Amino acid sequence: EVQLVQSGAEVKKPGESLKISCKGSGYTFTNYWIGWVRQMPGKGLEWLGIIYPRDSDTRYNPSFQGQVTISADRFINTAYLQWNSLKSSDTAIYYCARLLVVAAGFFDLWGRGTQVTVAS
Amino acid sequence: EIVMTQSPATLSVSPGERATLSCRASQTIGNNLAWYQQIPGQAPRLLISGASTRATGIPTRFSGSGSGTEFTLTISSLQSEDFALYYCQQYNNWLTWTFGQGTKVEIK
């Protein structure tokens, strides 16, 4: 089955670090860009950045540059989203998703999401 | 940044009726538009890309149309599983993608 499996929900305090994961299976993980998309409580969707797992080429939405770090390990078909110092405003559901076509920017396969809660 | 505006914010429709959702881009995007469905508690699902091409496995009651700045998603006969949130997304230029704020389709 073609799928993206994300790590479980996290509850953290402001200032803490966090790394969440997204593991692809059922397809050649290194052939497709993986993106991260944020959904804040009751809000819409925002893309944070994308990564090409084959060579870890990474591009960020300018609005999120410097706020998060995206990485990948092609040997275990996993992409990551990382924060060095969480803020309460980082509370959201984070989805990983696959870009079907490199020349287009829509996502055809989504993970179930990781709930990140940042509270003191 | 291209701003995507969806209307209405909420659409109340009876099962079996037609639903028409609109999405407007603040500047022309050709046909570089996708539609997603999100059932509460679930991940978004790709419905349409290229403004009118259904994704694999999407029922034919879902259809997309439009180009330039005005786009429409039509659900021809609403089924119970179609009551959800719907988002449009433009991808006209690489890495400058934006989503609309969503339309909630609820049972009338």
Query: Average pLDDT, stretch B3-32?
Result: 96
Q: In terms of CA atoms, which chain A residue is nearest residue B54?
A: A108
- Of the candidates B23, B58, B97, B48, the one whose C-alpha atom is nearest the C-alpha of residue A35 is B97
Answer for the pair B36, B45: CB distance below 8 angstroms, yes or no: yes
With CB atoms and an 8 Å threshold, state whether A105 touches B95: yes
Percentage of chain A beyond pLDDT 90 is 92
Q: Are β-strands A45-52 and A57-60 bridged in parallel, bridged antiparallel, or unpaired?
A: antiparallel
Residue A22 is predicted with a pLDDT of: 98
Residue A100 is predicted with a pLDDT of: 85
Output the DSSP codes for B43-89: --EEEEETTTEEPTT--TTEEEEEETTEEEEEESS--GGG-SEEEEE
Query: Average pLDDT, stretch A99-120?
Result: 91
Query: Average pLDDT, stretch A2-13?
Result: 97
Query: Average pLDDT, stretch A32-54?
Result: 94
What confidence category does residue A48 fall into, taking pLDDT thresholds of 50, 70 and 90? very high
Nearest Cβ partner for A108 among B42, B46, B102: B46
Residue B105 is predicted with a pLDDT of: 97
* Residues whose CB falls within 8 Å of the CB of residue B96, separated by 6 or more in sequence, listed in order: B1, B2
What confidence category does residue A104 fall into, taking pLDDT thresholds of 50, 70 and 90? confident
Residue B61 is predicted with a pLDDT of: 97
Joined tokens for residue B13? 């429709």
**What type of residue sits at position B98?**
T
CB pairs under 8 A between A and B: 52
DSSP bridge pairs for B73: B21, B64
Alpha-carbon distance values, A103 to A14, A33, A111, B18, B69 (Å): 38, 11, 21, 33, 20
Closest CA–CA distance from residue A84 to any residue of chain B (Å):
24
With CB atoms and an 8 Å threshold, state whether A110 touches B45: yes
pLDDT digits (tens, 9 = 90+) for B30-76: 999 999 999 988 889 999 999 999 999 999 999 999 999 999 999 99
Percentage of chain B beyond pLDDT 70 is 100
Residue A103 is predicted with a pLDDT of: 73
Residue B88 is predicted with a pLDDT of: 98
- Of the candidates B96, B92, B103, B84, the one whose C-alpha atom is nearest the C-alpha of residue B31 is B92
Joined tokens for residue B68? 């330039």
Residue A102 is predicted with a pLDDT of: 72
Rg (chain B; Cα; Å): 13
Q: In terms of CA atoms, which chain B residue is nearest residue A105?
A: B91
Residue A15 is predicted with a pLDDT of: 97
- φ/ψ of A29, rounded to 5, equals -55, -35
With CB atoms and an 8 Å threshold, state whether A104 touches B45: no
Could you give the CA distance from residue A100 to residue A82 in angstroms, rounded to a whole number? 24
**What type of residue sits at position B52?**
S
Residues of chain B that touch chain A, judged by Cβ-Cβ distance less than 8 Å:
32, 34, 36, 42-46, 49, 55, 87, 89, 91, 94-95, 97, 99-102
Joined tokens for residue B98? 């934006």
Residue B40 is predicted with a pLDDT of: 87
Residue B92 is predicted with a pLDDT of: 94
pLDDT at B11 over 80: yes
Q: In terms of CA atoms, which chain B residue is nearest residue A35?
A: B95
pLDDT at A71 over 90: yes
Residue B97 is predicted with a pLDDT of: 93
